[in-house]
């Protein structure tokens, strides 16, 4: 069995992993590159024979989750290549693509779905998906088995979210030792300060909700746990109000997980309409917002008339604010009260160590989704770390 990281050995995002045998070939993720430092889209340059051009030579592609740096090349995949992702993830991604100006909802429709722990077959391969906590809802690790060998591909994961505590027991019960671990290392080159948990974030959000009457939340529309945190932090008597697009995504989460956790029920979530303006102004609210004229008009009203009672919470990666063409800076401009309240969707150093200790790779650990793969050597000095370059063939 061979592993080829086509992209991702020395950069965050744009992940593409190939695993092949003599007779079969599968891929984990086909992601597009993240925007450059100014926020500009990068022209796609990756072309893979048998997958994006030529005659089909691919038994299946499995997507860990719906973030663009893991699924962004969807539109370039040959039409009859079998595609797979989680059920809820597919529905959320479909809603997102329908909304985008250049979206590809028809391509999303052709993706097959799976459930956690459901064993899938593709050529020589046996693939088992494991549900993990990430800033994208319904994200997965994959255990890939063939030729008597076992590879665990982590995708993006974390241990400090609401569902993070189940990660290690799940790996102990269902995975155990593997031959090769392919793991993300996003956080290794970022700030080393202690990472806040989602539960700690929610506690702070509750304090802000008490202090300020009107809350505008700048947050990804598909960061479901973050939205759930703020929804649950919204006190009795205040509204939690969204636009129709955001509400459609919330309905998907209710459908798949509302019965299993209060976090995903969103009982008080309402769709904004002008008929609510008086009630919102009288009682207060938390409103998730994104860039665009519709939200700008609402925010402008409260900036002009209730600035001291209004709080803007920026709950995304701060790096976006450094990009020259970002739209978030303008949204913050002129407000008297702004707070930055965010935590990463990626694994901390300790979470990576914990996963490695459980699956105890016999042969190697291969870093991916990482800016400097050598940082993994420093973190896991007792393991064999294979710092590959993009396109290199590694034999298992």
Percent of the chain with pLDDT over 90: 89
pLDDT reported for residue 212: 98
**Stretch (H or E) spanning 224:** helix 224-233
Q: What does DSSP assign to residue 387?
A: -
Question: What DSSP string runs through 84-130?
Answer: EEEHHHHHHHHHHHHHSTT--HHHHHT-EEE-TT--EEETTEEEEEE
Place of tokens 């599968």: 26
In the predicted model, what is the mean pLDDT of residues 104-120? 97
Which CATH number describes the domain made up of 2-191+345-395?
Answer: 3.60.15.10
CA distance 114 to 138: 11
- Residue 300 clears pLDDT 70, i.e. is over it: yes
Identify the band that residue 38 occupies on the pLDDT scale cut at 50, 70 and 90.
low
pLDDT reported for residue 192: 64
Residue ranges of the domains in the chain?
Answer: 2-191+345-395, 198-340
Identify the band that residue 326 occupies on the pLDDT scale cut at 50, 70 and 90.
confident
Class for the domain spanning 198-340: alpha beta
pLDDT tens for each residue of 183-228: 999 999 876 668 999 999 999 999 999 999 999 999 999 999 999 9
pLDDT tens for each residue of 233-247: 999 999 999 999 999
- Residue 325 clears pLDDT 80, i.e. is over it: no
In the predicted model, what is the mean pLDDT of residues 97-117? 96
Mean pLDDT of the chain: 95
- Residue 49 clears pLDDT 70, i.e. is over it: yes
61-88: burial string, b at 16+ Cβ within 10 Å, e else: bbbbbbbbbbbbbbbbbeeebbbbbbbb
Number of Cβ within 10 Å of residue 99's Cβ equals: 14
In the predicted model, what is the mean pLDDT of residues 357-376? 96
pLDDT reported for residue 191: 63
Question: Could you tell me which of 10, 53, 47 has the C-alpha nearest to residue 32?
Answer: 47
In the predicted model, what is the mean pLDDT of residues 88-94? 98
pLDDT reported for residue 321: 86
């Amino acid at each position: 069995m061979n592993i080829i990281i086509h992209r991702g050995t020395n950069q965050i995002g744009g992940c593409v992993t190939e695993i092949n045998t003599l007779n079969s070939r599968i891929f984990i993720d086909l992601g597009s590159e993240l925007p450059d430092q100014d926020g500009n889209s990068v022209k796609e340059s990756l072309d893979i024979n048998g997958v994006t051009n030529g005659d089909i030579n691919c038994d299946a592609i499995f997507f860990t989750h719906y973030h663009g740096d893991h699924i962004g090349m969807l539109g370039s995949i040959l039409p009859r290549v079998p595609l797979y992702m989680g059920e809820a993830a597919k529905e959320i991604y479909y809603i997102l693509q329908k909304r985008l100006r250049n979206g590809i909802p028809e391509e999303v429709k052709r993706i097959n779905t799976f459930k956690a722990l459901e064993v899938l077959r593709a050529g020589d391969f046996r693939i088992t998906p494991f549900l993990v906590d990430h800033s994208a809802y319904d994200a997965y690790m994959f255990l890939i088995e063939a030729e008597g060998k076992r590879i665990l591909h982590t995708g993006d994961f974390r241990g400090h979210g609401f569902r993070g505590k189940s990660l290690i027991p799940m790996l102990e019960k269902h995975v155990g030792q593997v031959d090769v671990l392919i793991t993300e290392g996003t956080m290794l080159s970022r700030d080393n300060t202690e990472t806040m948990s989602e539960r700690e974030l929610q506690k702070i959000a509750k304090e802000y909700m008490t202090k300020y009457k009107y809350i505008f939340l700048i947050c990804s529309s598909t960061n479901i746990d973050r939205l759930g945190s703020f929804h649950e932090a919204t006190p009795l008597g205040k509204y939690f109000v969204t636009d129709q697009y955001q509400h459609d995504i919330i309905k998907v989460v209710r459908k798949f997980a509302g019965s299993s956790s209060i976090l995903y029920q969103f009982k008080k979530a309402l769709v904004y309409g002008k008929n609510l303006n008086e009630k919102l102004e009288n009682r207060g609210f938390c409103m998730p917002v994104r860039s665009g004229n519709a939200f700008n008009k609402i925010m402008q009203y409260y900036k002009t008339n209730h600035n001291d009672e209004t709080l803007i919470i920026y709950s995304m990666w701060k790096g976006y604010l450094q990009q020259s063409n970002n739209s978030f800076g303008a949204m913050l401009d002129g407000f008297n009260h702004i707070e930055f309240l965010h935590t990463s969707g990626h694994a901390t150093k300790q979470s990576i160590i914990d996963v490695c200790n459980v699956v105890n790779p016999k042969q190697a650990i291969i870093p991916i989704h990482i800016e400097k793969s050598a940082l993994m050597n420093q973190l896991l000095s007792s393991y064999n770390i294979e710092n590959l370059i993009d396109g290199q063939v590694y034999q298992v």
